[in-house]
Every structure is written in C-alpha cells, then in structure tokens.
C-alpha cells in the first residue's frame, strides 16, 4: 500500500484547496429529489458513503471520492503506534462463469500509515470539505487506557464521528481486537461505554457477521450507549485453491490464510442481518448503516427499505472506481421521484412490517406458475429443473410441426417458483396467486403443528 501523504501544515495545503481538485458533487437535490441524510446526527448530502477500507486509506483517495460526489467516507481504521504491517499478496476473488467478480477476499489489516499522518490528513480534509460526512474508524486494544488516549486525538480533528471496528476477521483477532471483541457482547458493551465516556460525538459500532445472532451484538452496542451500528463487516472465507501448488489465494510465499469476504455475494446475508436488527423489539429505532455487496442504486434502496439510514460501499468502488456514485445517485433519485418519495426517510424501513418469521406466514396462500407461450423460446430449462429436482409439474409436449411446448400441470404445481428462476426470458414465467377459499392460517395456529400450544 502506498504511503503517499500530504503535508498538512499551513504552508502547504494546496493539495487540499482545489489544486488539483475542485469541490463538486455535494448537491443534495438530484433530479428534484432530496437525497440528504441525517444519520445519528451526522449530516451528508446523500446516503452513499465509502466504507473503511483501502479506498479511504489516505487524503488523496478521500478527496477524489468527495469530488466524485460521495456523501461521506469512513476513514480506514486507525490503531496504535507502531502502525500495522501488511503482507503481499492481499486480495483474491470468487468469479462467476463469465469472469465477473462475485465475491472479494482480503487479508489486509488496518492502516499501515502512522497515526500522526492520518490525524493530520483527517483534520485538513474535514476543514476543506465541511459539507461531507467524515467518520473515523478505530481499533485499539481492549482496555480503557488505549481508547482514552486515541479518542481525544480523533475528536480534535473535527471529524463527525467514529466507527468502532469490532469485526475485522483476520490478523487483529489474534491480538485480542476486531472480531475477538465483536463476538463477545460484554466486550462490545464495555468498549462502546468507554468511547461514549471519552468522546462527545456520535459513536457507530461496526458489527461482525461471524456470530450466531447479529441481534446480540446490536443490543450490546445499544446498552453501551451506541448512537448507531454499521454492518456487516467481512465474512471469514477462503475463495479458491491453487490446485497445482495446493495453497489458497491470496498466497504469501507458499502459505495463505482465511480472509474477509465482501462484494455482491454477501449482499443477501447483509440484508438479512440489517433486517433482523431493524425488526428486533430491543432495537427498533437504532440507526443502521448498511454494508455488504452494495454496487447499484437498487442495492442501496433495498438496504434502506430494510432499515438502513445510510449505505457504505467498498468492493464496487475498488472494482469500478469512484465515479459509480454518479449512477447510484441518479438511479436512486429517479426511482424515488417515480414512487413519490421526497426523502430517504420516506421509505426507510418500509419493508420491515412485511418481514416476519416463517411461522407467521400464511400456510393457505397458493400460487402456481404460468408460462407465456408467446415469450417462450423452448429452451426447456424450466422443464429440466422441475423434472429432475422439483415436483414434475411441467409437461414437455410436441407439436405437429415437431416444435417443443412446455405447459404447467396446475394440479401438481406447488408454487416453488424454481421454473421462474431458471427461465432466461424476463416475464415468460409468472407466478399467479390462486383463490383457495381458505382463511389466513399461520403455522402458529395450524392444527398440523405439533408444537401449536407451546408456540
């Protein structure tokens, strides 16, 4: 990692003051829609923030991000001196069939630049970009003295808040930090309490997904006085093996280790964890910054609908550059205008009332598949999937001219929608709700439930 930095003394601040960059991209109204957010008291022109990671490692990157239009950044995690020492290589990926990166793995640690340089740069960047959110990620040993030392230094920079890195899954847990703290509710509460004691601005607790129940960590953070939580941090992973040399990637010499997994592949896991906190009776109003696989405006909208008040992006920016935020802001604002949402708050948590436990779903609801013969290209993928792995509810017919035709056997269809998922033609297969004449019935009250009385 480059250690390039700016001299932030008063005699040499040109690098921050419009040379070579000019301030831009800070408008909160896009396509007539107000994208501004007030997240736990932290204001930003839009909800798109860069997560604490290599893209926020230094002032050079952060200024470029602000110029591109990002509403905020979480500065890469600061720690004690001497700074961390990183290895080479650090990244690996899980690829799709077409070569696209589905998941991204890293074994990089917190900042390997000095605390002094980081603090100088944070101070100057916040001074020059007062309209943007600037949060500082921190990770120090799990004792009050370490936090009491670094927090006043961070507060003096003028940054808007801090994010406690309690989730790093590699390198730092071996030192009693990162996920070693985030997996222990008592330590989460204790560290959060120390931060609220020694720091006057908003405290965001970043939670690890490498835990049985994400709600436990969020509840502990709230007990400690957290102003908000952010999630998810990366997931323990090994992405691939070099079968010639029998070593995982990334490879350091002839060895490797598990790393932190992120990217689009983790989005479903992250959204579930965000939703679990948002609908937990113990944390119904706790502000959430959503992280995990966000690369488009639609991803962001989905996280917000499940409870996020801001969203953080890392992998998508690393793969595509900072300019992706332009499409994110444009797409989100256009969708909001179409739906009549005049602010982010207007649709935040909108999907939570419809998100419930399986036992509360309607057992009597029925839907069956319908194939649009005009759109069908006769590929047979629906038939193969249903015949081999599902309920044998699609018939393969042959027309007089020899053409194939696939039809749903309605009395056999259970509405699993596997055929719809495998179909390559949009809207060719739809799921049609059926009138059953039966009332709503949840598993809680179903006579077939042997635990009905207990539930």
A 10 A CB-CB count for 363 gives 16
Q: Which of 142, 168, 195, 413 is catalytic?
A: 168
Report residue 372 as tokens. Answer: 């649009």
- To the nearest 10 degrees (0 to 180), the angle between helices 297-305 and 324-339 is 50
Q: Does the active-site annotation cover 168?
A: yes
Residues with Cβ within 8 Å of 111's Cβ and at least 6 positions away in sequence, in order, are 57, 76, 77, 78, 79, 83, 84, 118
Q: What b/e sequence results for 24-62 when a residue is b if at least 16 CB atoms lie within 10 Å of its CB, and e otherwise?
A: ebbebebeebbbbbebbebebbbbbbbbbbbbbbbbbbb
Tokens 């015949």 belong to residue: 387
* Residues tagged active-site: 168
């Amino acid at each position: 990692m480059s250690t390039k930095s700016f001299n932030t003394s008063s005699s040499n601040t040109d690098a921050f003051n419009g040379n070579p960059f000019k301030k831009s991209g800070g408008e909160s109204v896009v396509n007539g829609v107000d994208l501004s957010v007030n997240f736990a008291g932290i204001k930003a022109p839009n909800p798109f923030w860069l997560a604490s990671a290599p893209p926020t490692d230094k002032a050079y990157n952060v200024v470029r991000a602000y110029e591109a239009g990002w509403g905020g950044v979480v500065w890469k995690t600061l720690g004690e001196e001497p700074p961390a020492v990183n290895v080479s290589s650090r990244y690996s990926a899980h690829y799709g069939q077409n070569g696209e990166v589905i998941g991204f793995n890293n074994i990089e640690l917190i900042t390997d630049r000095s605390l002094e340089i980081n603090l100088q740069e944070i101070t100057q960047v916040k001074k020059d970009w007062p309209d943007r959110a600037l949060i500082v990620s921190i990770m120090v040993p799990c004792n009050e003295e370490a936090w009491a030392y670094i927090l006043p230094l961070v507060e003096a920079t003028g940054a808007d808040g801090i994010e406690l890195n309690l989730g790093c899954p590699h390198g730092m847990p071996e030192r009693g930090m990162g996920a070693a703290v985030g997996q222990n509710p008592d330590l989460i509460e204790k560290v959060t309490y120390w931060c609220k004691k020694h720091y006057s601005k908003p405290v965001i607790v970043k939670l690890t997904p490498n835990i049985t129940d994400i709600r436990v960590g969020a509840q502990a953070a709230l007990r400690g006085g957290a102003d908000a939580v952010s999630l998810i941090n990366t997931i323990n992973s090994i992405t691939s093996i070099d079968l010639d040399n029998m070593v995982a990637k990334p490879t350091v010499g002839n060895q490797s280790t598990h790393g932190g997994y992120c990217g689009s592949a983790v989005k479903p896991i992250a959204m579930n964890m965000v939703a679990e906190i948002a609908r937990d009776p113990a944390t119904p109003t706790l502000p959430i910054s959503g992280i995990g696989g966000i690369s488009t405006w639609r991803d962001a909208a989905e996280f917000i609908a499940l409870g996020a008040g801001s969203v953080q992006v890392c992998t998508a920016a690393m793969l595509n550059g900072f300019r992706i935020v332009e499409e994110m802001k444009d797409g989100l604002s256009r969708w909001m205008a179409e739906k009549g949402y005049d602010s982010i708050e207007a649709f935040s948590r909108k999907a939570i009332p419809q998100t419930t436990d399986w036992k509360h779903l309607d057992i009597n609801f029925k839907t069956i598949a319908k194939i649009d013969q005009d759109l069908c290209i006769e590929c047979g993928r629906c038939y193969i999937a249903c015949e081999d792995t599902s309920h044998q509810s699609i018939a393969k017919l042959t027309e007089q001219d020899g053409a194939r035709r696939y039809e749903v056997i309605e009395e056999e269809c259970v509405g699993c929608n596997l055929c719809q998922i495998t179909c390559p033609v949009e809207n060719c297969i739809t799921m049609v709700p059926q009138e059953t004449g039966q009332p709503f019935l949840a598993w809680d009250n179903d006579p077939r439930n042997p635990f009905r009385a207990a539930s």
